[in-house]
């Protein structure tokens, strides 16, 4: 059943912007046979824009599918280019906030490679939470502990000088619920730093990157919508920035007792985002229409693609 309210602000002023019919529901699971691969369930993607907070999400997302416990493969660290990039990002974060000899809690830690990196670089202690965690995928390191499960309120008692969540929030349909749970777990502590990373919807809109719209990603953030979500849950934005050719959006924040009014310069207005969306809709329909025409012509001629 389609969502009728925004998962971030609960507003009901939603606008349909883009659809993909019969899309594979999984694209980063390692399949063991051809038959398993073609048997993956298919679902519709229906992106909607919340005109109240600017959040874009798949309102037809099926939350009953098991995405993460059957061979989910998300590691990027085998790429030397990516590894060098993220080492520099991590070192910069450590230096900025003196993240040394601290307790790091990572929500959605994957196979644990980033958690191990930030612990090694800062001599920190790490706890990773992820149902897709696989022991033995990182080299042994004594200051790490993992929980092969989903994050919830019971993890609030774990030590957490830094709470990090990289490329996980875009997989979460109940975005406000997650941030609210994290804020409750922090309680009255004032010195906790949050370090989140998500794909940027702005780049997807600007270059019509339809290949970056896929089923596992049910939530799509711009700087403005991400910052609004954090402020709604009593976090103050310390910094925001785009990296890796503007593909990735980073946010750094801290808990506050009353709603912050601090706006980061990177944030776009809802009207600006609406303009980006309108431009995307026109260009993507032209682009995909042209490709359908070309592919059909090749098929009619018996050509291979």
Q: What's the CA gap between 110 and 132, in Å, rounded?
A: 6
Nearest C-alpha neighbor of 69 from the set 106, 112, 33, 26: 26
What is residue 157's predicted lDDT score, i.e. its pLDDT? 85
Q: Strand runs (DSSP E) across 207-302, as ranges?
A: 219-220, 235-243, 248-255
- Could you give the C-alpha distances from 216 to 63, 88, 138, in angstroms and in order? 10, 28, 24
| Model confidence at 77: pLDDT above 80 | no
Task: Quick: pLDDT tens for 176-234.
Answer: 999 999 999 998 888 999 999 999 999 999 999 999 999 999 999 999 999 999 999 99
Q: What's the CA gap between 72 and 280, in Å, rounded?
A: 30
User: Which CB contacts under 8 angstroms, 24+ apart, belong to 87-91?
Assistant: 87/117, 87/121, 89/243, 89/250, 90/114, 90/117, 90/118, 90/121, 91/121
3-state secondary structure of 255: strand
What is residue 26's predicted lDDT score, i.e. its pLDDT? 85
Q: What's the CA gap between 213 and 219, in Å, rounded?
A: 10
286 neighbors 208 (Cβ within 8 angstroms) = no
Q: What's the CA gap between 12 and 130, in Å, rounded?
A: 32
Within 8 A by CB and 6+ apart from 145, the residues are 126, 127, 128
Q: Is 214 exposed, middle or buried (0-12, 13-18, 19+ CB in 10 A)?
A: middle
Task: Quick: pLDDT tens for 87-107.
Answer: 999 999 999 999 999 999 999
What is residue 82's predicted lDDT score, i.e. its pLDDT? 85
Q: Count of CB atoms within 10 A of residue 19's CB? A: 13
Least confident of 3-12, 107-116, 132-141, 246-255: 132-141
pTM of the model: 0.92
What is residue 260's predicted lDDT score, i.e. its pLDDT? 94
Q: What's the CA gap between 236 and 268, in Å, rounded?
A: 17
Mean pLDDT along residues 260-275: 96
Q: How confident is the model at residue 132 (pLDDT cuts 50, 70, 90)?
A: confident
Q: Which residue has the higher pLDDT, 10 or 68?
A: 10
Within 8 A by CB and 6+ apart from 97, the residues are 162, 193, 252
């Amino acid at each position: 059943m389609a969502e009728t309210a925004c998962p971030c602000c609960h507003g009901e002023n939603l606008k349909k912007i883009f659809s993909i019919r019969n899309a594979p529901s999984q694209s980063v699971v390692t399949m063991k046979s051809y038959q398993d691969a073609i048997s993956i369930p298919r679902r519709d993607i229906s992106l909607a824009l919340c005109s109240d907070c600017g959040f874009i999400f798949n309102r037809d997302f099926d939350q009953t599918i098991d995405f993460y416990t059957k061979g989910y493969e998300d590691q990027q660290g085998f790429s030397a280019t990516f590894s060098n990039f993220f080492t520099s990002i991590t070192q910069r974060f450590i230096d900025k906030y003196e993240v040394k000899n601290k307790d790091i809690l990572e929500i959605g830690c994957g196979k644990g490679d980033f958690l191990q990196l930030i612990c090694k670089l800062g001599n920190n202690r790490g706890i990773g939470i992820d149902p897709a965690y696989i022991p033995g995928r990182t080299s042994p390191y004594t200051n790490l502990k993992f929980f092969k499960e989903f994050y919830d309120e019971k993890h609030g008692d774990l030590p957490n000088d830094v709470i990090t969540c990289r490329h996980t929030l875009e997989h979460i349909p109940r975005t406000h619920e997650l941030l609210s749970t994290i804020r409750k777990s922090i309680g009255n502590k004032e010195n906790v730093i949050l370090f989140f990373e998500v794909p940027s919807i702005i780049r997807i809109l600007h270059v019509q990157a339809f290949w970056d719209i896929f089923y596992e990603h049910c939530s799509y953030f711009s700087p403005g919508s991400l910052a609004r979500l954090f402020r709604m849950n009593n976090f103050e934005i310390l910094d925001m920035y785009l990296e890796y050719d503007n593909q990735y959006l980073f946010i750094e924040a801290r808990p506050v007792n009353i709603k912050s009014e601090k706006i980061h310069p990177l944030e776009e207005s809802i009207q600006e985002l609406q303009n980006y969306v309108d431009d995307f809709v026109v260009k993507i329909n032209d682009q995909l229409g042209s490709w359908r025409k070309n592919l059909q012509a090749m098929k009619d001629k018996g050509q291979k693609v």
